[in-house]
Amino acid sequence: MTTPCTFDDLLSILHQRLAPLPDHRTGKNTQYSIPEAAVGAFGLFFTQSPSFLDYQRTLQSAQGENNAHTLLGVPHIPCDNQVRKLLDPLGPSLLDGVFLTVFAALEEHGWLRPFRVLNDQLLLALDGTQYFSSQTIHCPNCLTRHTPKGHTLYYHAAITPVVVCPGRSQVITLPPEYIMPQDGHAKQDCERAAGKRWIRTHAQEVAPYGVTLLGDDLYSNQPLCAVALQEGYNFIFVCKPDSHPKFYERLAFWQANDGMVQLESRHWNGRYTEVSVYRYVNDVRLRDADAAVVVQWVDITVVHGTTGEQLYHNSFITNHPVTAELVAAVAHAGRGRWKIENENNNVLKTKGYHVEHNFGHGKQYLAAFLLSLNLLAFLFHTVLEWSDDHYALLRRVLARRQTFFEDIRALTRYMVFDNWEHLMAFMIRGLKLESQLDTG
């Protein structure tokens, strides 16, 4: 790549990775290719316009050209029903390569450097989220649970891993892992099992970058920690007393025998002083067994320096060695897990990506495949905010994400742009921002 991670670079990765998508059709009606359907569907998430393809067909009829072609390289535009039919048989893991190629490009060109903390580690948060539910619509890949009124609720869920960093609002999206019925398993799939699958599946591509996994209390158990270590990851997982009574009995023993270290630090946050109290113990067995994983335990309590009000408290287990010099870094890295909720899941649900909306359920994998395309759109916008000066300026001026995408939707509905740079330059000129761009 010449200029790293530009829109053209990202689009090239998308096309290259989608080109080998399998075609399950057996008939002769192959007017539209599978990659055309996939990139077309990606377009509606990238522009946050559910009617994007309809608008482009209208433009093609009126002007002889359309933005699906000029911006995204889609020569023929299938209708929405055709898109759903063509994509339904495709497993979402077929899109994993797009995420991983972008991730590798970010590392190659130094974009991941600001995310490295804790002795050059990347913090990778794992968390499950629900993205579809219905009492009537369902497919063989739905999970089920019973409502208090006795109805069956069908739903889809996934783990949506992201690279996070304390003090940074952006997150870097990695391939999701879908929580769905697994071949050969009688039990319903769950987040913990899906987490272990993700750790194993992507160890070769992700772990060598130096990765510390973050997760809530669900992840702090012997089997999952053992898998993480075996696959070359580090970890910092929330560990609560209620779910680990035996472990906390061992901690109480160490505390009673002066084996627990306590430190305090004070920090002015601009309004008042925060007092952080850290406690830690090294080399504690996670469970009662000879082959138990040995972990370090870290506890952090933050209180208001004047009122004494507790502002934050949490406890973690980690395989990182903990010292007086490192305990604060470990604790604050563990706190970074909340960013998967605030900067990822919350944005995807409330800031225009509408991940809980039913864009198409299908009979096989459609709902999951469309979610992966939606997550890719989120990843592309994150990268463009770093690599595209025009895009970054527009996002600063049009501070509300919804405003930015409202403009994108309106412009691409009524006008055809030669390419992405043309669209960005048009918006810059329309808002008279040239001088701000020239001065950085």
C-alpha to C-alpha distance for 413 and 58, rounded to whole angstroms: 9
Note the pLDDT of residue 1.
39
With a cut of 70, say whether residue 3 has pLDDT above it: no
Is 5 in contact with 109 (CB distance < 8 Å)? yes
SS3 state of residue 242: helix
Residue 293: pLDDT band (50, 70, 90) is: very high
> What's the whole-number mean pLDDT along residues 87-92?
96
Note the pLDDT of residue 150.
87
Q: Which residue, among 232, 244, 207, 212, has the nearest Cα to 326 in the 3D structure?
A: 212
Q: Which residue, among 403, 405, 388, has the nearest Cα to 8 in the 3D structure?
A: 388
Residue 400: pLDDT band (50, 70, 90) is: confident
Per the structure block, which two tokens stand in for 73? Answer: 């390289």
Per the structure block, which two tokens stand in for 377? Answer: 């759109």
With a cut of 60, say whether residue 208 has pLDDT above it: yes
SS3 state of residue 166: coil
Note the pLDDT of residue 432.
94
Is 153 in contact with 146 (CB distance < 8 Å)? yes
C-alpha to C-alpha distance for 345 and 129, rounded to whole angstroms: 7
Domains and CATH numbers, the chain: 1-111+359-440 (no CATH), 112-356 (3.90.350.10)
- Region of 5 (left: φ > 0; alpha: ψ -120 to 50; beta: rest) is left
Note the pLDDT of residue 439.
54
Answering whether pTM is above 0.75, one says: yes
CA-based torsion, 147, 150, 153, 159: positive or negative: positive
> What's the whole-number mean pLDDT along residues 226-251?
96
Relative to beta strand 122-125, strand 211-215 is parallel
